[in-house]
Amino acid sequence: MTVANEAPTGATGTTVDSPAGAPTPAPTQAARQRSRRRPVRDVVFVEGVRSPFGKARPDGIYAETRADDLAVKTIRELLRRRPELPAERIDELALAATTQTGDQGLTLGRSVAVLAGLPKSVPGFAIDRMCAGAMTAVTTTAANVAVGAQDVVVAGGVEHMGHHPMGEGSDPNPRFVAEKLVDSSALVMGATAENLHDRYPHLTKERADAYAVASQAKYAKAVANGDITPDLVPIAIRSTELGWGLATADELPRPGTTVDAVRDLKTPFRPGGKVTAGNASPLTDGATACLLAAGDVADELGLPARMRLVAYAYAGVDPEVMGIGPVPATERALASAGLTIDDIGLFEINEAFAVQVLAFLDHFGLADDDERVNLYGGAIAMGHPLASSGVRLMTQLARQFAQHPEVRYGLTTMCVGLGMGGTVIWENPHHADYSGHTFETAEN
């Protein structure tokens, strides 16, 4: 509609200049299309939770618990913590698993949504990027929110390695090795960690052991300080032998671990190698879930914005040294955000193997004991349930942001099987220079 006596405007709302008396040219088709484009919206991390992580063994706490039930209980608690959110406002549930079979199969996102009691209107899907499954669930759904396709999403992951060991039922194409597309060690994650030690001799076993012991100590301190338990979902468990129980704490940490205690552990991936059970993450069962929303929708619903997504990136590397993947992924994410590594005040790096973290730290000039890295310890202590871990990193970073308002940016990063890395950069809303997460706030 044209208002009388009002100067005509172009597609962007600016006045169209035209000679006196000359008719105003009609907007082009391209201009019409531009006028209908939605602006990219900010995406915020609202809430994150996880199950306690358990040993992936016949005597582990979740040995008789279904993987999909782990995910259901985690998602129910996520939504219980945010009563401001009407369940019918959830637009998607994306759930990751590395081994999608049995109780981790059947289109996890949708089946778990139904089992969790979400409205039947909530769609869902399963996703797999091995260890970065939950991270990819977050970035995929966040992209949908950013372009206006969705407003509120749930993303997470579940991995029951006790029921489904990594690679169970897979049939790798023989061409991988026969045609020398990858080294034969590329499909064994521990072997790829040994390869990293070979490629970078300065990443010694002594450094790896010392880093791992420090991770255990930091985790124990975080538990004592009350930094871990608030994110945990109590899980009802059942054992044929012991009856019913309640899982309320991680089962895997080894508090009091010393360098002397891990120095002579077996090296299962290579005789005389450097990777041991002491400097690698243990086999783990667990689930994670988080809630993401458009910034303006979060404000509308009264949901907290605990972090703002700034940028993310994934990168491929030689599969036989997959642990180096976080390096190019982080470089890409930093370039996309217009930041440098010096702008990052907190790091959550998944500790699949100590050597992989050390490779990252060395590349970016960070000390092995840099205080900004993994404040609460990492996967070496608490476990790494493969496709779940990405959201665990994010949930911990969100808590650290609240504790450290002086830090503006943080990142979550992880290596990924078959030679990849993933990194997500976040902004702290508690920082004095926070850029905001709605258009109105950003303009002020």
Catalytically active residues, by annotation = 131, 384, 415
Please list the residues that pair with 154 across neighbouring strands: 93, 291
Pair of tokens at residue 130 = 């091995």
Specify burial of residue 234 (Cβ count, 10 A radius: 0-12, 13-18, 19+).
Answer: middle
Q: What share of the chain is helix, strand, coil (3-state, %, to 5)?
A: 35, 20, 45
- CA angle, 61 then 67 then 72, to 5°: 105
Q: Where are the alpha helices (DSSP H) in 282-410?
A: 295-301, 326-337, 354-363, 379-382, 389-403
Contact of 283 with 388, CB cutoff 8 Å: no
For 181-216, letters b (16+ CB in 10 Å) and e give ebbebbbbbbbbbbbbbeebeebebebbbbbbbbbb
Chain CA centroid to CA 427, Å: 15
Please list the residues that pair with 124 across neighbouring strands: 93
Pair of tokens at residue 131 = 């260890």
Contact of 302 with 47, CB cutoff 8 Å: no
Q: Which residue from 226, 249, 292 is spatially nearest to 51, judged by alpha carbons?
A: 249
Q: Name residues whose C-beta falls within 8 Å of residue 299's C-beta, 6 or more positions apart in sequence.
A: 305, 437, 438
Phi, psi of 79 (to 5 degrees): -75, -30
